[in-house]
């Protein structure tokens, strides 16, 4: 099988949220519908948090961010979807894409169908699936046994939590589970570890599918240390958290910019130059694409 055929036939799942998952999906856009992004839906900050506070529903912000980064053909539709209100009124700071997705949800359209309507309008091929279609929040237990609620509160912790939870214990989207079951390659990250990468892994159906998966599971490291409690965690600890959530299933490898002697030899290390030339903390899309394609060819 040629390299091009392998790249065209490989089923890839990327798990996360925010800017990190959007950057990864953008890098993989040449693979079209063979790529599925499983998106965290527990955000309670910014425009998303304000909408959830008054309208309820799942958090749409990370999904909108992913769609924004996948738009390749500027249009009136894309300008509308990306528009953010300014000024000092109640709409100030709100993103119109968030409001559009919320409105579709209020019309009793299934969240995944709402995403697909927007994808079709904006000509986005990549599959985007919310981790769950039921509202939930991230919570954490601190080392002293206190429980705090909400992603923003987790980000503001002054120490690494003992455990994370998604509350209530909502079911995963069946399409997310199916994508994992059919994947050849599963990517965790990059992005905010505690609030973007971990939440989908905390849903029992996703955890079970990952545990049973025969795909290669690869963790993509951030290029700079995070702020907040995740910045206090070693990579070894992050990998342990992922593996604990996946029922003991080991992560197979790590994509990183430099050799990491501190992690166990069982992790295959894929060392690549990944930073963008103008921001050394941001992954360059082309470099990230090339790194993933090398993984596919050598699978």
Which residues lie closer than 8 Å to 83 by C-beta, 6 or more apart?
Answer: 95, 96, 97
Q: What is the band of 78 on the pLDDT scale with cuts at 50, 70, 90?
A: confident
- Helix ranges (DSSP H) in the chain: 3-9, 18-27, 46-55, 61-70, 76-82, 96-106, 111-122, 151-155, 174-181, 198-201, 204-212, 235-245, 285-297
Which residues lie closer than 8 Å to 153 by C-beta, 6 or more apart?
Answer: 140
Residues 259-298 pLDDT 10s: 999 999 999 999 999 988 887 788 899 999 999 999 997 7
Mean pLDDT of the chain: 93
**Is the pTM higher than 0.85?**
yes
Residue 7 has pLDDT above 80, yes or no: no
């Amino acid at each position: 099988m040629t390299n091009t055929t392998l790249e065209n036939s490989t089923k890839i799942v990327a798990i996360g949220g925010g800017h990190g998952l959007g950057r990864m999906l953008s890098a993989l856009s040449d693979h079209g519908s063979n790529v599925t992004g499983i998106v965290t839906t527990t955000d309670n900050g910014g425009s998303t948090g304000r909408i959830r506070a008054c309208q309820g529903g799942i958090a749409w912000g990370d999904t909108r961010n992913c769609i924004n980064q996948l738009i390749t053909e500027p249009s009136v539709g894309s300008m509308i979807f990306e528009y953010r209100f300014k000024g000092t009124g109640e709409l100030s700071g709100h993103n119109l894409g968030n409001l559009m997705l919320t409105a579709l949800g209020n019309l009793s359209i299934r969240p995944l169908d709402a995403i697909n309507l927007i994808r079709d309008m904006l000509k986005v091929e990549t599959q985007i699936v919310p981790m769950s279609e039921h509202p939930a929040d991230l919570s954490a237990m601190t080392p002293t046994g206190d429980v705090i609620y909400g992603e923003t509160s987790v980000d503001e912790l002054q120490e690494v939590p003992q455990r994370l939870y998604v509350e209530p214990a909502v079911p995963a989207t069946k399409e997310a589970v199916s994508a994992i079951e059919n994947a050849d390659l599963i990517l965790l990250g990059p992005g905010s570890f505690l609030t973007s990468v971990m939440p989908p892994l905390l849903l029992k159906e996703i955890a079970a599918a990952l545990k049973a998966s025969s795909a290669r599971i690869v963790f993509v490291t951030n290029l700079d240390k995070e702020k907040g409690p995740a910045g206090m965690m070693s990579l070894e600890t992050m990998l342990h958290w992922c593996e604990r959530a996946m029922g003991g299933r080991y992560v197979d490898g790590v994509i990183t910019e430099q050799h990491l002697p501190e992690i166990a030899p069982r992790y295959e290390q894929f060392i690549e130059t990944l930073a963008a030339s103008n921001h050394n903390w941001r992954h360059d899309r082309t470099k990230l694409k090339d790194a993933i394609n090398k993984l596919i060819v050598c699978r």
